[in-house]
């Protein structure tokens, strides 16, 4: 594989982005470098795409997202060395630039999907670590005979349970940060909702107004709605309260207003919305399971391309809360992701240049592990025929998954590396064996179909 020069990449990107002075903030997620600019007209999209190592450039709701791959932290470390670029930038400048760009390039649906995806994306490492710890627990008890009463089990169980019990805290911080508000106040709101006298409490009232009983540790919608309202209150107070009073009164008034409104109005609405979403999605799945999972398998590369894949997390959490597993979204994405890997490896086999082979192999191996953005942007869409091969492989794999009743028991990035996520907590090996078969079939079909289509493409 061709080794990347991250220093040269950083220099090239900054130059084509209009220089240090044009970059308000620089952050990154799992695979993308995210920039907010002062003057978008100075951003040379084609020039950035031409920088070696850059897979694609996406403009989404006020951000220029430069697709790099899982090694984006190495590039980000070089970006941080530029003295004129501050990680995160200033709240005021970043907010103004993002809003301005959203008005010119975005729409309501794009903004919603961008907000949801941007909220859940930073939390994915926590979900993967905590979710797969649940699979480790299943292995320890069913294979290695570790007692559920042992200290070892207790420690691993705490890691797994804390991930999802305190999820509103993580989501609160991420959502508030995404809205250019105060992330710690967002986390504070999540912590308040989880406090023992609030979470699942019965018979509460606020100045005589009854508070509906809601179990906040099993849903993410209440804290998201609460943070949306909190951000409006916070920004209003930041604008109108005198500077010398802001430190004390902005956070105090923000929380005194936000918490009651969330408990009385937004929390119950979010809880109801989550329940209805789970019931609706599960009803669609129950009507025709093979077709529903097949559709997810076919469309996953498209969702990744348009940045919609992370926006499915609320549905996943709703399903987990309703039926204790995800038989649809992650289950359909698993064969789709590994089919992308097969398609990329086939494209690498047919590639003529060393660079194309390197990109194909790297993207293929990464996709087999569950991260498909390098493959989607670097191989599938530029060549087209690997995209068709991956969609066919993902669709057939999804159809097979639906027919055999495959499901995912813990939240993790769907792929071979997350195979323990398919271990049945009850001890049965059926689901994990089915999952292995489904993913192998998807890889083989994605690989073979891409080879066949690629040969016909070359003849034409």
3-state secondary structure of 71: coil
Label the pairing between strands 32-37 and 23-28.
antiparallel
3-state secondary structure of 431: helix
Told to judge if 369 belongs to the known catalytic residues of this protein, a careful annotator would answer no
- List phi, psi (to 5°) of 284: -60, -45
Burial class (CB in 10 A: 0-12, 13-18, 19+), 298: buried
Q: How far is the C-alpha of 270 from the C-alpha of 265, rounded, in Å?
A: 9
Q: What is the CA radius of gyration of the chain?
A: 23
Residue 60 belongs to what H/E stretch? strand 56-60
Annotate 398-415 with DSSP letters as a single string.
HHHHHHHT--BSS----S
3-state secondary structure of 269: helix
3-state secondary structure of 58: strand
Tokens (6 digits) for 27: 């952050």
* Of residues 97, 106, 89, 91, the one with CA closest to residue 42: 97
Is the C-alpha dihedral spanning 289, 294, 300, 303 positive or negative? negative
Answer whether 378's CB lies under 8 Å from 363's CB: yes
Give, in order, the Cα–Cα distances in Å from 107 to each of 144, 174, 371.
53, 22, 27
3-state secondary structure of 64: strand
In SS3 terms, 173-232 reads as HHHHHHCCCCHHHHHHHHHHHHCCCCCCCCCCEECCEECCCCCHHHCCHHHHHHHHHHHH
3-state secondary structure of 115: helix
Is the C-alpha dihedral spanning 405, 409, 415, 419 positive or negative? negative
What residues are labeled active site? 29
């Amino acid at each position: 594989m061709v080794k990347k020069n991250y220093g040269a990449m950083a220099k090239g990107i900054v130059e084509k982005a209009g220089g240090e002075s044009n970059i308000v903030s620089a952050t990154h997620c799992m695979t993308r470098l995210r920039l907010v600019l002062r003057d978008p007209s100075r951003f040379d999209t084609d020039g950035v795409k031409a920088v070696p190592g850059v897979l694609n450039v996406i403009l989404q709701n006020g951000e220029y997202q430069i697709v790099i791959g899982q090694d984006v932290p190495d590039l980000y470390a070089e970006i941080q060395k530029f003295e004129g670029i501050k990680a995160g930038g200033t709240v005021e400048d970043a907010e103004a630039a993002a809003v301005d760009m959203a008005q010119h390039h975005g729409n309501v649906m794009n903004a919603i999907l961008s907000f949801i995806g941007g909220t859940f994306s930073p939390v994915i490492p926590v979900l993967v670590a905590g979710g797969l710890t649940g699979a480790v627990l299943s292995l320890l008890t069913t294979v290695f005979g570790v007692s559920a009463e042992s200290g070892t089990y207790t420690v691993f169980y705490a890691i797994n349970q804390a991930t999802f019990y305190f999820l509103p805290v993580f989501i609160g911080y991420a959502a508030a940060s995404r809205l250019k508000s105060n992330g710690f106040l967002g986390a504070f709101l999540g912590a308040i909702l989880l406090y023992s006298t609030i979470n699942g409490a019965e018979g509460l009232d606020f100045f005589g107004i009854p508070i509906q009983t809601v179990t906040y540790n099993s849903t993410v919608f209440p804290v998201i709605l609460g943070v949306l309202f909190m951000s409006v209150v916070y920004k209003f107070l930041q604008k109108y309260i005198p500077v010398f009073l802001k430190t004390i009164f902005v956070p105090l008034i923000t929380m005194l207003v936000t918490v009651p409104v969330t408990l009385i109005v937004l929390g119950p609405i979010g809880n109801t919305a989550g329940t209805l979403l789970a019931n609706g999605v599960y009803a669609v799945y129950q009507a025709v399971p093979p077709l529903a999972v097949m559709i997810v398998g076919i469309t996953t590369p498209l969702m990744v391309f348009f940045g919609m894949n992370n926006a499915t997390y609320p549905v996943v959490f709703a399903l987990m809360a309703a039926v204790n597993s995800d038989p649809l979204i992650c289950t359909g994405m698993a064969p789709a992701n590994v089919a992308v890997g097969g398609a990329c490896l086939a494209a690498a086999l047919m590639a003529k240049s060393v660079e194309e082979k390197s990109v194909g192999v790297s993207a293929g191996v990464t996709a087999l592990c569950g991260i498909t953005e390098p493959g989607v942007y670097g191989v599938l869409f530029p060549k087209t025929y690997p995209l068709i091969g991956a969609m066919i492989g993902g669709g057939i794999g999804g159809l097979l998954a639906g027919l055999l009743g495959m499901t995912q028991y813990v939240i993790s990035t769907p792929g071979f590396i997350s195979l323990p996520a398919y271990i049945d907590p009850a001890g049965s090996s059926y689901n994990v064996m089915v999952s292995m078969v489904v993913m192998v079939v998807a890889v083989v079909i994605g690989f073979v179909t891409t080879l066949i289509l690629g040969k016909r493409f070359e003849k034409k």
